[in-house]
Chain A
């Protein structure tokens, strides 16, 4: 008999069904994954297994058992006997899932106290053992530290340690690797796989198909609360049956070369439903000159628009010690091309970008921006030496798009006012009628329309907000746009649309992109050339195909090896770099 057996699970919140008729089983020692985008009901499903669906949830099922126990008949006290000691739960984002003002050791101790009858000294010993088990070095020291004092990877390990403290038969992990660097992500997946090999059943919740393929033998693809496809992981990836699964697989940028579209053009049947599913507008930008499914990037690489020469940046930390976060970085960006900057957190990629666009002054070195005077003549300025007026004029040549577009809009402003400000400040439109006409043009260029002028960014979806941010950047008719993790907060299908849009915009305007991302898949899809940063230094740069196909530096090789690829479970254990210490 299966360890977990769920039939026709339905969860609704105030009349809205978040999960509809979901059925699945989990066997002992088996890895099962639930995959879906935000709002698919995947987390709700998982939390129902421990009776913590949330306030106001109405949960029903034809059958819901765990090891023969009828979950539908449990009272709160009986649920407590299951939580922790029989089902361990790893919530997403360890930074907020561990009590920020308690040392991580006490969190694990609490789990032990609830699920075991051990004495204090025995528990203290177990805490250290558990931290060691999940691969935390120096467990005695780490146990006394707060979550905020640990790195992302160590935090995640500590959280997993607290979830397995009661030695549960089933471990549920909700987005266990989201927000982790790619090398750390690989280590956590190895750890989960290892815990599964101890005989535990594993249920992984993720939006990332590649992550899931590493640890799950079977998977469920869910969308809007319903299972659209289920089966053997290997079989599903080899031959996806449902159009949504195919769309998700198609939208993964890593699998597609530069210049190909991630969202096939209208008319291929499934596309409108996918777009509808994420609440974004249909794709009118197809009219802006791109050809369905064909290569849109014409590769018209032109003159240099920005040049960084030996740029370094030192920051003085709170302890008074100066640290070099950007160290002697040099590169050029040319019109019409995309220069990708890739690196893990703390590599200095964001600071490099901010220096290029003049939001931060370099400690050493200089950044030259080639702009155009009003008469069209090219003019070159160094941010550091340019006059105040020149700097302001340069601003319109260089724009920036943030990871979180919402916070980059004045909360009091409508979309129309946001665009009007950009247009009038840059002098690209004067007179109110001209501003309005141009604003609508810009919105249409990014796949929105005049009806969005009066909206406030707060009321738009994440994808729409990023489109408005792109429209605002385009308003000044820039020659270079800095994109700082522009799609990292978006679902994969929305991400695909935004990446396609960016490619279209570049094709139409010849703008240069400086594209910062931690996601090597995204970088490989969008970039012509790439810069690999580690600890503020350029360890490798060059043509994207060269670097990704023939990485020269050990760090680049390590990064590329750690990228989760779609592959069957089991094959990867221990194969990637930096397996956890046992």
Chain B
């Protein structure tokens, strides 16, 4: 992939981030109620009109919308997400304190989901009805289960019935097991479904038969030819995975009472602490954009057909699209 294409992708990513920022700005504007009241502690605090006016001036709420918008973007550009109404501290600081637990949880869950999905799909694709049927049934169940219920089931069994693992907290690695599983299993199930169906499609292709006709073993065919192809559709699932992980942490952190962005977000939603809500949401949008950008740039590595041919290759092999026909140079005159 050449520099121009990377530039286009980058620009698109920046565009989406800008759109996301605009959307969050609009969200604040259409939120009913005066943010100044929220800042001084809500209507119950019964602040004097002077205090309100002072806060409005301090936060720039008395400025025209466009000025507020430009200032907002300017602050975002330097990494200032505003100040939490509720905690009275900068949003970046709040997020910075909480992000560690979430990154740990989401990272472990993502790894777990990917490994589970690949292993299960490779071992069960195009197998007998018992193996395949069993795997698909379990996947259907896991993919259909709400993660909060899955978490409750895991807690009931491993914490309350067997007392193997702790039910709450960020204390140590053991406390991470159940939350990570809860987050990973539904994602792994969906990925495994997609991976298996694409693997089965690939394994029916003639080039697979050709590989077998060369004397290649079944395992080698699956891993060397099949898996590589199935990773391409899997890459298109990135959005789903990122969304599932970020959305899932809200539920999982709440269920397992873990410190993290998810629980911070939930508390902020309940308190109508808009700067924190939008800070978390904006951060997740940026993560989404960055991850997708990376995957986009990785596509040609997964699928070399997407690489632009070099000038020499282009001259050697003219494959120009001519309506429905494909022009080919053939060594007819050789």
Hey, which bits of chain A sit against chain B, CB under 8 A?
47, 50, 52, 55, 76, 80-85, 88-89, 91-93, 96-103, 107, 110-111, 114-115, 135, 137-138, 141, 145-146, 148-154, 159, 162-163, 165-166, 181, 183-184, 315, 317-319, 323, 325, 344-351, 354, 360, 558, 577-578, 581
**Cα of A348 to Cα of B324 in the assembled complex, Å:** 10
**A98 proximity list for chain B (CB < 8 A):** 207, 210
Smallest CB–CB gap between A566 and chain B, Å? 24
Q: Mark B290-329, 1 if CB is under 8 A from A, else 0.
A: 0000000000001111000100011011011111111111
Q: Is B313 in contact with A85, judged by CB distance below 8 angstroms?
A: no
Interface check B162, CB cutoff 8 A: no
Q: Which stretch, B93-101, B139-147, B186-194, B211-219, touches the partner chain A? A: B211-219
Whether the Cβ atoms of A581 and B334 lie closer than 8 Å is yes
23 A-B interface contacts by CB (under 8 A): A50-B213, A83-B212, A91-B209, A91-B213, A96-B207, A97-B209, A97-B210, A100-B207, A101-B229, A101-B303, A101-B305, A103-B304, A107-B210, A150-B317, A151-B328, A162-B214, A345-B326, A346-B326, A346-B327, A346-B328, A558-B332, A578-B332, A581-B331
Whether B214 and A84, one on each chain, are in contact in the complex, defined by CB atoms closer than 8 angstroms, is yes
- For the complex formed, measure the closest distance between the CB of B216 and the CB atoms of chain A, giving whole angstroms: 6
Contact B214 A52 (CB under 8 A): no
Known contacts: A345-B325, A346-B325. The answer to whether A115 contacts B215 by CB under 8 A is yes
In the complex, residue of chain A having the shortest beta-carbon distance to the beta carbon of B232: A101
Q: Does B225 contact A (CB under 8 A)?
A: yes
Q: In the docked arrangement, what's the CA distance between A151 and B331, Å? A: 9
B10 CB → nearest A CB, Å: 22
Nearest CB in chain A: distance from B211 CB, A: 7
Whose C-beta in chain B lies nearest to the C-beta of A80? B215
The verdict on B205 contacting chain A, using a C-beta distance below 8 Å, is yes
Which residues from chain B contact A55 at a C-beta distance below 8 Å?
126
CB <8 Å contact, B329 and A151: yes
State A228–B222 Cα separation when bound (angstroms).
39
Q: Are A89 and B210 in contact (CB under 8 A)?
A: yes
Which among B214, B325, B334 is the interface contact of A137 at CB below 8 angstroms? B334
CB neighbours of A348 from chain B (8 A): 322, 325
Is B207 in contact with A149, judged by CB distance below 8 angstroms? no
Are A317 and B317 also in contact (CB < 8 A) when A101-B229, A110-B214, A151-B328 are?
A: no
Q: Given known contacts A153-B330, A315-B323, A349-B325, what 20 new A-B pairs fall within 8 Å (CB)? A: A47-B209, A89-B210, A103-B304, A111-B214, A115-B214, A149-B319, A154-B330, A181-B330, A183-B330, A184-B330, A315-B322, A317-B320, A319-B314, A344-B330, A346-B325, A346-B328, A348-B322, A350-B325, A360-B323, A578-B331
The residue of chain A having its C-beta at the shortest distance from the C-beta of B324 within the complex is A350
Smallest Cβ-Cβ distance to A562: which chain B residue: B332
* Residue among B211, B325, B332 making CB contact with A351, cutoff 8 Å: B325
What's the minimum C-beta distance from A349 to chain B, rounded to whole angstroms? 8
Supposing A137-B334, A151-B330 touch, asked if A315 and B321 sit within 8 A by C-beta, the answer is yes
Would B304 and A146 count as touching, CB distance under 8 A? yes
Residues of A within 8 A of B317 (CB): 145, 149-151
Cβ-defined contact, B225 with A99, below 8 A: yes
Q: Taking the complex as formed, is B7 at the interface, i.e. its CB lies under 8 A from any CB of chain A? A: no
Query: A residues within 8 A CB of B210?
Result: 89, 91, 97-98, 107, 159, 162
- Check B228 for interface membership: any CB of A closer than 8 A: yes
Kindly provide the distance from the CB of B207 to the nearest chain A CB, expressed in whole angstroms. Answer: 5
A184 to B333 Cα, complex, angstroms: 11
Bound: A138/B331 CA distance, A? 11
Tell me if A166 and B320 are in contact (CB < 8 A).
no
Q: Are A146 and B305 in contact (CB under 8 A)?
A: yes
Q: How far is the CB of A44 from chain B (nearest CB, A)?
A: 12
Q: Is there an interface contact between A52 and B212, defined as CB atoms closer than 8 Å? A: yes
Name the A residues within 8 Å of B229 (CB-CB).
Answer: 101
Is B206 an interface residue, CB under 8 A from the partner? yes
A146 to B205 Cα, complex, angstroms = 17
With beta carbons under 8 angstroms apart, the residue of B213, B314, B331 that contacts A83 is B213
Decide: A148 and B305 in contact? CB cutoff 8 A.
yes
Q: How far, in angstroms, from A360 to B330 measured CA to CA in the complex? A: 27
Q: B320, A323: Cβ atoms under 8 Å?
A: yes
Chain B residues in 8 Å Cβ range of A315: 320-323
Contacts of A100 in B (CB 8 A): 207, 305
CA distance A100 to B211 in the complex (A): 12
Residue of B nearest to A87 (CB): B213
**Bound CA span A581–B331, Å:** 10
Identity of the chain B residue whose Cβ is nearest the Cβ of A83 in the assembled complex: B215
Closest to A403 in B: B324
**Which among A76, A99, A145 is the interface contact of B211 at CB below 8 angstroms?**
A99
Beyond A52-B209, A99-B225, A100-B305, whether A345 also contacts B214 by CB under 8 A is no
